[in-house]
């Protein structure tokens, strides 16, 4: 009999954002019947955050206190140097027949590596990653710091829910500026919550990380009237495709947008991708993607100004969307013809997918 999957929650955030405070108030919402595990990662050797949570657990009833298991991993970041320690700690906590597991990494790390470990570590029980929360303050989430801090971009990009914490210490302008920044991010967040003292309802976190039905084409034509295009599911022949959507002009059948969601293990060749976009560029109004090139993911932005690749912390899947110019060029003859059907485009895109994945 297969063991039931254990819900796992990742609470990330910069140093001083209020991650431990958030965990404390979530601990106060724990159902009496549930057994929780809490894994705290301290960068140094002094376990202050873990001690704080243990003190919070001590204030609860004897039954509640016995059903909370807190473990700390110290002396490094579990996102990188202490990954072996993370796997060991997970094994130890799973011996307690938990109903829910919480992980608070150090604010100095990149949690994408934790997600990799959760997905691939050889554990005795399957894990079900729930909505990831990023706790951050409006004072931290500024445009200037966003440009400079790779860690901040990774933390917020990976999160499903952004908790704008300590709003009692920020101005309305700081709050609005931070909220506007998050609203403009890609992929979009499930929710942005303004709060004090890390308050959030436990029920909001009981949902899957990055729901699978989120498709890029939902926002492809936000600037057009629904009557100017029609969207349909497309049967793709590309390896690893989970979802493919095609938008056409209902009057002439011309492609307006084409988008795919691929499995997370589908790998793309960066050199071939550049050649693919170079050939399509005269036809495109915009191209955007989150694609796995090698072991990491990259955010791809294509426009009339060219193609840009940017490292991004993303682990859910690979996805690509092409938005075409209205009245784009007709099909040309010869070896360098412009593709005008989904089949033509997929034939060219196939050359960008890593050969080892084509056999599946």
Residue after which a domain boundary falls, among 184, 205, 226: 205
- Tell me which DSSP letter residue 88 carries: H
266: domain range?
Answer: 216-358
**Same domain, yes or no: 284 and 141:** no
Report the share of the chain in percent with pLDDT over 70: 75
My answer on whether 140 and 248 are in the same domain is: no
Counted domains in the chain: 2
CATH number at residue 143: 3.40.50.300
Please check the confidence at residue 173 and state whether its pLDDT lies above 80.
yes
Residue ending a domain, among 170, 205, 240, is 205
pLDDT in tens, 178-236: 999 998 886 788 899 999 999 999 999 999 887 544 445 444 444 444 444 455 677 88
Domain contains 292: yes
Global model pTM greater than 0.75 = no
- Exposure class string for 138-163: b at 16+ Cβ within 10 A, else e: bbbbbeeebeebebbbbbbbbbbbbb
Same domain, 69 and 25: yes
pLDDT tens, residue by residue, 52-90 = 566 666 555 555 556 899 888 765 555 554 456 778 888
Angle 112-120/150-158 helices, nearest 10 degrees? 50
Does residue 211 sit within a domain?
A: no
| Pair (262, 119) in one structural domain | no
Domain of 225: which CATH number?
3.30.1220
pLDDT, tens only, 139-167: 999 999 998 888 888 899 889 999 999 99
Per this entry, what is the length of the chain? Answer: 360
Q: What confidence tens digit (pLDDT) does each residue in 285-296 have?
A: 888 888 999 878
> Within this chain, do residues 78 and 186 fall inside the same structural domain, yes or no?
yes
Same domain flag for 86 and 197 = yes
Residues 271, 127 within the same domain: no
């Amino acid at each position: 009999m297969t063991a039931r999957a254990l819900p796992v929650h990742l609470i990330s955030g910069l140093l001083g954002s209020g991650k431990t405070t958030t965990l404390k108030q979530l601990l106060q919402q724990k159902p009496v019947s549930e057994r929780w595990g809490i894994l705290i990662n301290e960068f140094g050797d002094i376990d202050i955050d873990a001690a704080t949570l243990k003190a919070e657990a001590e204030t609860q009833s004897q039954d509640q206190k016995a059903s909370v298991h807190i473990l700390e991993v110290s002396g490094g970041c579990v996102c990188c140097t202490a990954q072996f320690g993370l796997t060991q700690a997970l094994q130890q906590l799973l011996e307690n027949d938990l109903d829910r597991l919480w992980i608070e990494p150090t604010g100095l790390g990149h949690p994408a590596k934790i997600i990799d470990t959760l997905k691939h570590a050889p554990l005795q029980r399957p894990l079900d990653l729930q909505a990831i929360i990023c706790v951050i303050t409006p004072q931290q989430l500024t445009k200037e710091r966003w440009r400079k801090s790779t860690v901040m971009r990774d933390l917020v990009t990976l999160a499903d829910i952004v908790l704008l914490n300590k709003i009692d210490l920020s101005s309305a302008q700081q709050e609005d500026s931070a909220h506007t920044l998050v609203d403009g991010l890609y992929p979009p967040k499930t929710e942005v919550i303004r709060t004090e003292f890390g308050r959030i309802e436990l029920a909001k976190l009981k949902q899957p990380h990055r729901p699978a039905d989120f498709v890029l084409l939902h926002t492809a034509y936000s600037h057009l009237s629904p009557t100017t295009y029609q969207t349909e599911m497309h049967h793709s022949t590309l390896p690893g495709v989970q979802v493919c959507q095609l938008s056409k002009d209902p009057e002439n059948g011309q492609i307006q947008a084409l988008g795919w969601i691929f499995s997370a293990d589908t790998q793309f060749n960066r050199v071939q991708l550049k050649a693919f976009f170079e050939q399509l560029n005269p036809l495109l109004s915009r191209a955007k993607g989150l694609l796995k090139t090698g072991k990491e993911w990259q955010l791809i932005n294509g426009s009339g100004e060219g193609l840009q690749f940017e490292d991004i912390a993303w682990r859910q899947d690979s996805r690509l969307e092409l938005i075409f110019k209205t009245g784009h060029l007709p099909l040309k003859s010869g070896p360098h013809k412009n593709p005008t059907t989904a089949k033509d485009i997929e034939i060219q895109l196939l050359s960008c997918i890593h050969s080892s994945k084509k056999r599946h």
